[in-house]
Amino acid sequence: MASSSQFSLSSVQPSDLEALVALEKRCFKSDRLSRRSFRRWLDGDHCVFLVAREGEQFAGYILVLFHRGTRLARMYSLAVDPAYRGRGLARELIAAAEEGARESGRFYMRLEVSSKNLGAIALYETLGYKQFGLYQDYYEDHTDALRYQKRIRSVPDTARHRATPWLAQSTRFTCGPASLMMAMAALDSEYLPSITEELRLWRESTTIFMTSGHGGCHPMGLALAAQSRGFKTEVWVNHGGVLFLDGVRDESKKPVMALVHEDYRAALEALDVPIHYRDVRQDDLMAAFDQGDVPLILISTYRMDRKKAPHWVVMSGYDEECIYVHDPDPDGQGQTALDCQYLPLAREEFGRMSSFGRSRLRTAVIVGKSP
């Protein structure tokens, strides 16, 4: 990639590793990327990794990561050698990275910056980034991180968002309880999530079995758990059979799962909780969101991690192009809690992600305040 200035920008090469490590040491006293981290992203195909040179001299780099399955890019690291500062290189690197992110179909670029780094903050704001959050005690020196975001595609940003606390699931099988705790905390400021509560919710809503390992959470079980805590709920499911059976090969598990399903269904009917036996449409989710409710949505994680696993997320906003979700599971692939909040899922991709298994199950739980 060529630049019109005195700097030349190009994709990183394996031969740049030593120069990257040396530059990192010159630029940062703490929170440095390690040699191992650089080596990992040298071969990454889900990122933009550019280096800048003046002649033969290594002047800077930028690393932008893409969140799989979403339209989100994150500026993971930006460094300019002190000898080359004040010449507009950071601005050039950011512009080139934004171009690469747009070409990869991303709608938003996000970043975090130290609250003490006034020069960088001024640059980001000049380039159109807007602060949308704060992450306290984020850096090694205990300073806060300001969260900034920019829409890198020229479509009016008319997103409807709701302040929703983000929680990480504490086990690999409790995405449903973590999502439900986020919803209940968003609706009631006095509700107190905890790991004990997370596990209690799982015990109340589990399917007992899944393909392997511990069972996940049944939408009707989650609705019952929320109902018992004083929230109103309704369930959307697009077929009336026992859920999740198509992924279970052990015949001895299926009668147990059928009993659990029927028990949840009967309990909801006894409480007059609505169960809608049809596809939950995006219009239904947006209508519920607009009236103040919080939808929990079951998705397939295939487009995020290439694993065909059912996974619960929380709807946290929408606009004309995207549904935004809080994902309780940081995937460990360079992603952090910052990357799991208000994830923009393109509408057409969301339609595919919210269909699970051979039966193409679509299901959601709508949680709201009791009248």
169: in domain? no
- Looking at the fold, whether 126 and 189 belong to one and the same domain comes out as no
How high is the pLDDT of residue 5? 67
On the question of pLDDT at 2 being above 50, the answer is no
- Looking at the fold, whether 211 and 305 belong to one and the same domain comes out as yes
The token pair that represents 122 in the structure block: 């001024």
Task: Render pLDDT for 164-181 as a digit per residue (tens, 0 to 9).
Answer: 999 999 998 999 999 999
> Mean per-residue pLDDT for 282-299?
95
Nearest to 69 by CA among 349, 340, 291: 349
The mean pLDDT value of the chain amounts to: 88
- Looking at the fold, whether 131 and 235 belong to one and the same domain comes out as no
- Looking at the fold, whether 122 and 237 belong to one and the same domain comes out as no
Task: Render pLDDT for 222-278 as a digit per residue (tens, 0 to 9).
Answer: 999 999 999 999 999 998 899 988 778 888 899 999 999 999 999 999 999 999 999
| Integer Cα distance of 186 and 6 in angstroms | 51
Q: Which of the given ranges, 12-21, 128-137, 330-339, has the highest pLDDT on average? A: 12-21
Last residue of one domain, picked from the residues 154, 184, 215? 154
Q: Enumerate residues 6+ apart whose C-beta is below 8 A from 194.
A: none
- Looking at the fold, whether 129 and 182 belong to one and the same domain comes out as no
Burial of 56 (0-12, 13-18, 19+ CB in 10 A): exposed
> Mean per-residue pLDDT for 18-32?
90
Q: Are 53 and 20 in contact (CB under 8 A)?
A: no
Q: Enumerate residues 6+ apart whose C-beta is below 8 A from 100.
A: 48, 50, 64
How high is the pLDDT of residue 306? 54
Band the pLDDT of 355: cuts 50, 70, 90: confident
Secondary structure, 3-state, the chain: CCCCCCCEEEECCHHHHHHHHHHHHHHCCCCCCCHHHHHHHHCCCCEEEEEEEECCEEEEEEEEEECCCCCEEEEEEEEECHHHCCCCHHHHHHHHHHHHHHHCCCCEEEEEEECCCHHHHHHHHHCCCEEEEEECCCCCCCCCEEEEEEECCCCCCCCEECCCCCCCCCCCCCHHHHHHHHHHHHHCCCCCCCHHHHHHHHHHHECCECCCCECCECHHHHHHHHHHCCEEEEEEECCCCCCCHHHCCCCCHHHHHHHHHHHHHHHHHHCCCCEECCCCCHHHHHHHHHCCCEEEEEEECHHHHCCCCEEEEEEEEECCCEEEEECCCCCCCCCCHHHHCCEEEEHHHHHHHCCECCCCECEEEEEEECC
How high is the pLDDT of residue 226? 98
Q: Are 8 and 52 in contact (CB under 8 A)?
A: yes
How high is the pLDDT of residue 4? 47
Give how many domains the chain has, as a whole number: 2
Owning domain of residue 348? 175-369
168: in domain? no
Distance from chain centroid for Cα 341: 5
163: in domain? no
- Looking at the fold, whether 203 and 338 belong to one and the same domain comes out as yes
| Integer Cα distance of 304 and 300 in angstroms | 9
- Looking at the fold, whether 254 and 200 belong to one and the same domain comes out as yes
Nearest to 68 by CA among 306, 302, 304: 304
Which domain CATH number covers 100?
3.40.630.30
How high is the pLDDT of residue 126? 95
160: in domain? no
How high is the pLDDT of residue 132? 83
257: in domain? yes
Task: Render pLDDT for 39-65 as a digit per residue (tens, 0 to 9).
Answer: 988 877 789 999 999 988 999 999 999
Which domain CATH number covers 237?
3.90.70.10
- pLDDT > 90 in the chain, percent: 59
159: in domain? no
Q: Are 89 and 80 in contact (CB under 8 A)?
A: yes
How high is the pLDDT of residue 327? 92
- Looking at the fold, whether 118 and 14 belong to one and the same domain comes out as yes
Band the pLDDT of 136: cuts 50, 70, 90: confident
355: in domain? yes
Q: For the beta carbon of residue 77, count every other beta carbon within 10 angstroms.
A: 21
- Looking at the fold, whether 230 and 276 belong to one and the same domain comes out as yes
How high is the pLDDT of residue 59? 94
- Looking at the fold, whether 195 and 316 belong to one and the same domain comes out as yes
| Cα-Cα-Cα-Cα dihedral sign, residues 204, 366, 360, 167 | negative
Distances from the Cα of 81 to the Cα of 33, 43, 116, 119, 298, angstroms: 15, 23, 19, 15, 46
On the question of pLDDT at 186 being above 60, the answer is yes
How high is the pLDDT of residue 304? 60
Last residue of one domain, picked from the residues 119, 154, 189? 154
- pLDDT > 70 in the chain, percent: 92
The token pair that represents 76 in the structure block: 């993971």
Task: Render pLDDT for 193-202 as a digit per residue (tens, 0 to 9).
Answer: 999 999 999 9
> Mean per-residue pLDDT for 111-131?
92
How high is the pLDDT of residue 244? 87
1: in domain? no
- Looking at the fold, whether 144 and 228 belong to one and the same domain comes out as no
How high is the pLDDT of residue 1? 47
On the question of pLDDT at 11 being above 50, the answer is yes
How high is the pLDDT of residue 300? 85
On the question of pLDDT at 3 being above 60, the answer is no
- Looking at the fold, whether 240 and 339 belong to one and the same domain comes out as yes
